[in-house]
Amino acid sequence: MKTIFSVLLFVSLFAGAQDKKHREHRAHSHGHAELSIAIDSLVGQLEFKSPAESIVGFEHKAKSDKDVQRLTTAKVDFETNISKYVQFDSSLGCKFEKKSIEMVSDASDDHHADFVARFDVTCAKPLQGTTILFDFTSVKKLKNIDATILAGELQLKAEIRKKKTTLEIK
Ligand SMILES: [Zn+2]
């Protein structure tokens, strides 16, 4: 935990839904991802959406054996690492359960595809008053992530850049 306090934090918090930039749906832009976590009391969901290029390394349909293998590896890596990317306070006993991880192409655009991962989140204690640590530093092609966290009545936003970023849930 001590490393959290030795890095510069780039966290922007907005108590309400006034931040127009974050409300608009962000266009597919390589290096930029969106993360949303919504937990009501002890149970909720996490959704991560990124251009596939930034996670898988390509966006065309995986046809060759090599592509299929790269996609499979990317999915497995993401599932394995989700509890490193999003670290709830260990005392909360939060667990992730994969719902789906897939590469999604817009039918009207076969040049760009998104990588979308969804997890169920279950915690033994409520998040309020604790801290989430985001660490996507191992995902080298991601430049920033717009995160939205809903925890009960609280709505918080954070911009996660290429550093470990903490967010207080309060
Ligand atoms: Zn693209």
pLDDT (0 to 100) of residue 109: 63
Domain that holds residue 57: 2-168
- Between the CA of 116 and the centroid of ligand 1 the distance, in Å, is 13
**Rounded CA separation 57/74 (Å):** 9
d(CA 120, ligand 1 centre) in Å: 27
Q: Mean pLDDT per segment of 10 residues, for the chain of length 170 residues?
A: 39 38 62 97 96 95 95 98 98 98 80 94 96 97 97 96 96
Q: Are 58 and 30 in contact (CB under 8 A)?
A: no
- What are the respective helix, strand and coil percentages of the chain, to the nearest 5? 20, 40, 40
The rounded Å distance from CA 53 to ligand 1 centre is 6
Q: Tell me how far the alpha carbon of residue 125 lies from the centroid of ligand 1, in angstroms.
A: 39
Report the separation in Å between the CA atom of 119 and the middle of ligand 1, taken as the mean of its atom positions.
23
Q: How far is the CA of 48 from the centre of ligand 1 (A)?
A: 16
pLDDT at position 5 is 40
Contacts for 99-108: CB closer than 8 Å, 24+ residues apart = 99/45, 101/75, 102/75, 103/52, 103/56, 103/59, 103/62, 103/71, 105/59, 105/61
Nearest residue to 147 via CA among 6, 59, 40, 32: 32
pLDDT number for residue 105: 86
Check residue 17 and give its pLDDT. Answer: 36
Domain count, the chain: 1
78 close to 117: Cβ distance less than 8 angstroms: yes
pTM here? Answer: 0.83
93 vs 108: CA distance, rounded Å: 42
Q: Which two tokens stand for residue 114?
A: 């998104």
Q: Which residue has the tokens 């939060």?
A: 94
